[in-house]
Amino acid sequence: MTMKGRKLLMIPGPIEFEPQVLQVLGAPTTSHTAPDFISSFGNCLRMMKQVWECPDGQAFIMAGSGTLAMDMAGANLIEPGDKALVISTGYFGERYAELLKRYGAEVTVLKSEPGETVALSAIENALNTNKFKLMTFTHVDTSTAVRVDPKPIGELGRRYGVLTVLDGVCSVAGEEMRQSEWGIDVALTASQKAIGVPPGLALLVASPRAMEAWKNRKTPVGNYYCDWTNWLTIMQAYEEGRPSYFGTPPVNLVAALEVSLKMILDEGMEARVARHKTLATEFRRKINDMGFQLLPVNENNAANTLSAIYFPEGITGSDFMASMAKSDVIIAPGLLPDLKSKYFRVGHMGSVNSSDIVSTIAAIEKAISQVRN
């Protein structure tokens, strides 16, 4: 149920946050070189490697959004003239293609139809035809709620000697992701989704292979703020318990991240992924029973962190959204430019529970009946 005096936030990020996480945000801000903070930052870096399941990876915590994490991967791994393959299942795949071009990449985009995924055979064919340095894909595209399976893409990256970048902004800590085991070189996310911390942190774990590729660059990184040359020593110092400085870290957000990562690991990664799957399946079943159609064409490719749902026949999207706006539940409009007015999105990740799902379904039912009358 909604908390007294405020609405239930069921958009695909920012999400509903645990009270313990929010509490830490309101604590007095400490110095970024204080021993307690250094210890907290080091804990976060170690716990990220557990959540990402990448024990030998290098974790980075930056002040910024998920787009900054995307930028960091692109800036450090691309040099002018490098070939990059972008596997796009929506808006954020297109964004990655544009981003990589800024660093001089020659970009090939493999684009799926809305609601579908790119066939593995098409990916392998592209890797066979061209010598790519980097391949990016969106684990869950927030614009379409389509989830791709990272495991075979990681395998292809390994087989063809291509660095793989997983955009996990809407997946990490909500969907299964085994970075080391699946051979993913960079997995990135933002704090405000399944990680469960208010917006403001860009989070990334790079494999030893990715760090090696960066060390072997022939040209300087084309983005000063993102350059691992500036950040690696900071991350290493914090993990070793020493003060260090390049840019001031968002002290309170890092303290909140420590609380949230502890809660995630206490729940356990398998249990957490299973909970997201159970809630998403329950939500989709109820949505289907109401006669709605999902944007993902195949149930197997429907994300467990959010749902994208077409408006039913005869319902005007703007009327439905206006009716929903009067309810106690906040949902998100469509994001894919061509289909924007034809669908809406509901986030169900992080601390979401069954009663949140029930409240959301009830609000959708009410809005539909109001619009129909």
Backbone phi, then psi, for 170, in 5-degree steps? -105, 20
Model-level pTM?
0.97
What is the full DSSP assignment across 80-91?
Answer: TT-EEEEEESSH
Kindly tell me the number of DSSP H helices and DSSP E strands found in the chain: 13, 15
Q: What is the residue-averaged pLDDT of the chain?
A: 96
% of the chain residues with pLDDT over 70:
99
The angle subtended at Cα 9 by Cα 7 and Cα 15, nearest 5°, is 145
Give the separation between CA 29 and CA 4, rounded to whole angstroms. Answer: 29
* Cβ atoms of residues 176 and 18 within 8 Å: no
pLDDT of residue 83: 98
19-266: CATH number: 3.40.640.10
pLDDT of residue 6: 82
Tell whether domain 8-15+269-372 is in CATH 3.90.1150.10: yes
First to last CA, the chain: 26
Give the separation between CA 57 and CA 16, rounded to whole angstroms. Answer: 29
DSSP 302: B
pLDDT of residue 4: 53
Domain ranges of the chain: 8-15+269-372, 19-266
What residues in the chain have per-residue pLDDT under 70? Answer: 1-5
By C-alpha distance, which of 201, 273, 278, 193 is closest to 10? 193
Amino acid at 264: I
For the sheet with 293-294, list strands across it.
293-294, 306-310, 343-347, 332-333
The pLDDT tens digits of the residues spanning 302-337 come to 999 999 999 988 888 999 999 999 999 999 999 999
Between β-strands 106-111 and 343-347, what pairing exists: parallel, antiparallel or unpaired? Answer: unpaired
* CB-CB neighbours of 56 under 10 Å: 11
* Cβ atoms of residues 188 and 166 within 8 Å: yes
The pLDDT tens digits of the residues spanning 86-123 come to 999 999 999 999 999 999 999 999 999 999 999 999 99
Amino acid at 353: N
Beta-bridged to residue 140, according to DSSP, are 147
